[in-house]
């Protein structure tokens, strides 16, 4: 597609019912009767904050925070001390949200490490609500293990004996217990083990909470000793700042998460970008043209529209030339890529990806090794061209 002020593919065809929509209004548009295809909002049967929602013919249970106002959360957790271990991306977001919800939350991190210092900057006070890991676990009733996944495995021999009967163990990723043969995280059999996995970075967990909204999260129960594990998972999900909670299992959460980030979220999409860019360059196109046609138009114009309205809307909203070609080529890409996705899922499920991740991320020089790889990516022509293209965006012009 040509990359003009308004990309050609975005010039709305006469068949779209909103032909005079500007690009900006199109981006902001929600699926509605005004769009070319009718949007089918999921039918919801609601019982207080619990909804059974029909997702394309499959009914799923979704919990929402409406059922857990702040005073109810405070009353539910009035006898609990939430000991949040690790203060990285998730620790920061979930910890501050718990504190703002008026719950009794303490932080446990390595004394004088980077997280310790960051926690102090965020107003946590040593000896009051900031402790070393062991002290925090001893004081806590709900132990939120938000160390990095590699660190969860590394510290397990010290952490496990502290998880005494009556405590609850909380994760934000199924990684450690699901792949216990590799991580060695074999949870004690006499405690509840629950999961709340926000579908976004800890920074988003925090910013959405501050905006009065909530992030979508998955919840799951690995082990229910008290008979209250699911209720606790839902309450914890709301308490850390979720808006909607989707029920899953530890296994499905970790499989889909590892698969997605290696696929369409990052690895796969980077591979597609590189393949398309390289062919354009080999066929004589300039770096700016190759970048604009591969990345800039995708991320700045089309992907937000697909996110807001769906693929059918996108096809309907582009020129008939773009629509014909895109619909024709989509199955070819699907057929070429599906075996790769299949191989990827198997690699996730068998633990191969976990093994690779644990081995790599527990090397003493893993940060330097990553930096070297990232430097190589930064120096690829496509991303150097991208830097120049981004500098020309109106918002980056002084």
Nearer to ligand NAP, 65 or 206 (CB): 206
Q: Catalytic site residue 173?
A: yes
Q: How many CB atoms lie within 10 A of CB 270?
A: 15
Nearer to ligand NAP, 90 or 223 (CB): 90
Nearer to ligand NAP, 149 or 192 (CB): 149
The answer for residues whose C-beta is within 8 angstroms of residue 190's C-beta and 6 or more apart is 165, 225
Place of tokens 């006469």: 14
Measured CA to CA, the distance from residue 127 to residue 216 in angstroms comes to 33
Q: How far is the CB of 156 from ligand NAP (least distance, A)?
A: 11
Q: How far is the CB of 94 from ligand NAP (least distance, A)?
A: 9
Measured CA to CA, the distance from residue 195 to residue 211 in angstroms comes to 24
Q: How far is the CB of 118 from ligand NAP (least distance, A)?
A: 7
With binding defined as CB under 6 A, does residue 91 bind ligand NAP? yes
With binding defined as CB under 6 A, does residue 120 bind ligand NAP? no
With binding defined as CB under 6 A, does residue 220 bind ligand NAP? no
With binding defined as CB under 6 A, does residue 153 bind ligand NAP? no
Measured CA to CA, the distance from residue 201 to residue 90 in angstroms comes to 7
Measured CA to CA, the distance from residue 110 to residue 85 in angstroms comes to 9
Measured CA to CA, the distance from residue 16 to residue 9 in angstroms comes to 13
The values of phi and psi at residue 17, to 5°, are -75, 0
With binding defined as CB under 6 A, does residue 147 bind ligand NAP? yes
With binding defined as CB under 6 A, does residue 251 bind ligand NAP? no
Residue nearest to ligand NAP (CB): 88
Q: How far is the CB of 116 from ligand NAP (least distance, A)?
A: 6
The alpha-helical segments, DSSP class H, found in the chain are 23-28, 70-76, 89-100, 114-121, 133-139, 149-159, 175-178, 180-183, 202-210, 229-239, 250-262, 267-282, 287-291, 297, 303-309, 311-317, 320-349, 352-361, 366-378, 381-391
Q: Binding pattern to ligand NAP, positions 165-184, x when CB under 6 A?
A: -------xx-x---------
Residues that bind ligand NAP (CB under 6 A): 86-91, 109-110, 113-115, 146-149, 151, 154-155, 172-173, 175, 197-198, 201-202
Output the known binding site for Mg(2+): 257, 261, 293, 297
Q: Which residues are designated catalytic?
A: 173
């Amino acid at each position: 597609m040509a990359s003009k002020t308004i990309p050609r593919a975005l010039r709305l065809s006469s068949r779209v019912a909103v032909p005079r929509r500007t690009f900006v209004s199109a981006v902001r548009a929600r699926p509605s009767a005004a769009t070319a295809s009718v949007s089918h909002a999921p039918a919801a049967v609601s019982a207080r904050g619990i909804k059974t929602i029909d997702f394309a013919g499959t009914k799923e249970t979704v919990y929402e925070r409406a059922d857990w106002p702040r005073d109810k959360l405070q009353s539910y957790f009035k006898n609990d001390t939430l000991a949040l271990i690790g203060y990285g991306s998730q620790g920061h977001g979930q910890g501050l949200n718990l504190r703002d919800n008026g719950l009794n939350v303490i932080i446990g991190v390595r004394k004088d490490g980077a997280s310790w210092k960051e926690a102090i900057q965020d107003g946590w006070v040593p000896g009051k609500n900031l402790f070393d890991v062991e002290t925090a676990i001893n004081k806590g009733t709900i132990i939120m293990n938000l160390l990095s996944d590699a660190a969860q495995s590394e510290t397990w021999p010290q952490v496990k004996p502290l998880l005494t009967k009556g405590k609850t163990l909380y994760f934000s990723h199924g990684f450690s217990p699901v792949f216990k043969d590799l991580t060695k995280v074999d949870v004690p059999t006499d405690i509840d083990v629950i999961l709340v996995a926000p579908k976004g970075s800890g920074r988003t967990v925090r910013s959405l909470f501050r905006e009065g909204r909530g992030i979508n999260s998955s919840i799951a129960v690995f082990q229910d000793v008290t008979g209250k594990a699911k209720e606790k998972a839902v309450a914890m999900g709301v308490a850390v700042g979720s808006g909607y909670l989707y029920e899953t299992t530890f296994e499905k959460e970790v499989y889909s998460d590892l698969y997605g980030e290696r696929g369409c979220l990052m690895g796969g999409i980077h591979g597609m970008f590189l393949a398309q860019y390289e062919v354009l360059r080999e066929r004589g196109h300039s770096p700016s043209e190759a970048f604009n046609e591969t990345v800039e138009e995708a991320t700045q114009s089309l992907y937000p529209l697909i996110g807001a309205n769906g693929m059918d809307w996108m096809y309907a909203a582009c020129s008939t030339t773009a629509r014909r070609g895109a619909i024709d080529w989509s199955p070819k890409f699907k057929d070429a890529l599906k075996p790769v996705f299949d191989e990827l899922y198997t690699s996730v499920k068998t633990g191969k990806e976990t093994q690779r991740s644990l081995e790599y991320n527990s090397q003493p020089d893993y940060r330097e090794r990553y930096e070297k790889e990232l430097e190589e990516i930064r120096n690829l022509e496509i991303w150097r061209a991208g830097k120049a293209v981004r500098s020309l965006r109106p918002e980056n012009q002084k």
